[in-house]
Structure formats: structure tokens, C-alpha cells
Structure 1
């Protein structure tokens, strides 16, 4: 009986080691879980989706509307239409 107990105890110790510290064990699971949570917090999926939707709307507006093109050309390039008066205020 003593020899059987020793074998069973060794088997139990080996199984516990492989469960906690072995490949794909609980230690690896906790490490991977924490890493994925870290990357989810860094990348914030909802914020990225919101920004992507804004960019898609802006692209659609630039392709199908002239107001957005005019607004960008006025702001970035200083476009002035015919029969408009330009006032520059120096501070």
C-alpha cells in the first residue's frame, strides 16, 4: 500500500504541476487574458468605430457634396468666390 500511495502522490503532483505551470495551463491563461485586456484598453474598439464612421461620412460628403469641398478650400487654401469681399483683421 505504501508503494501505491507514493505512485498516486507523484501522479497527483505531476497533474497539479501541468495544470498550474505547464503549457496551456492556468498561468498561461491568466497571462494571455491580462494581455488581451491591456490591448483592449489601449485600442478602445468603440472609439475606433466611432472615428471610422466619422471618416466614412466625411468621405461620402466630399464625394457627393460641394459644400464640404468649398469649406475645405476656403479654410485650407484661402479660396474667395467672385463678388465676395475679403476682410483681413490683424491682431
Structure 2
């Protein structure tokens, strides 16, 4: 009888230990889920870094447009095709040439 109660106590301790290990590794908010979340966080940090650099570029462009005429003139020439008085507009085509007879 003495050995049976000790065996039951040992079996209960092992069952509790296994249950706790299951919770730690595979349960909700367990180790596996934590590693997946860390991977997602790193991916999001990379995306955020890309967006921060794009925002910095746009912020610099806005600052140049507000404070300098060179940026306004550059945008007018590139985006709208505007030219100054007494200038000659020359457009170079990069399309391949074909000869037909």
C-alpha cells in the first residue's frame, strides 16, 4: 500500500510536469507562438524602416518646394514640360528605329 501511494504521487507529479511543459511549448501564448510573433515583429520593423525613409524623402521634397524655386522649376520642367521664354525644347526619342522600304 505504501508503494502504491508513492507511485500515485509520482505519477501525479509527472502528469503535472507534462501539463506545464505542454503549456510552455505549445499552449496559448507559448514558446512557439512567441517565436512566430518575434518573426512578425522583425518583418514589420523592416517595413517601417522602408516607410520612414520614404517619408523622409517626401518631407525633404516638400521642404524644398516650400523654400526654394529650383525645386519648383525642376518639377515644372519634368512633370509639366514647361520651358522658359527664348528656350528651345528638344526631345530625344529612345525608341528603336526601324527601316522600311
Q: TM-score, normalised by structure 2?
A: 0.71
Instruction: Confirm or deny: 8 A CA contact 2:65 2:72 kept in the other structure.
Output: yes
Query: What's the offset of the Cα at 1:6?
Result: 1.3
Distance in 2, Cα, partners of 1:38 & 1:53: 20
Match for 1:5 among 3, 10, 15? 10
Distance in 2, Cα, partners of 1:31 & 1:87: 58
Q: Which blocks of at least 5 consecutive residues in structure 2 are unaligned?
A: 1-5, 94-101
Aligned length: 88
Q: Deviations over 1:41-82 (max 9, x none)?
A: 4x161x432322221111011112222111111222222223
2:21 counterpart residue number? 16
Which structure has the larger Rg over C-alpha atoms? 2
Cα 1:31/1:16, change in 2 over 3 Å: same
Q: Which blocks of at least 5 consecutive residues in structure 1 are unaligned?
A: none
The residue correspondences of 1:69-88 to structure 2 (distance < 5 A) are 69-82=72-85, 84-88=86-90
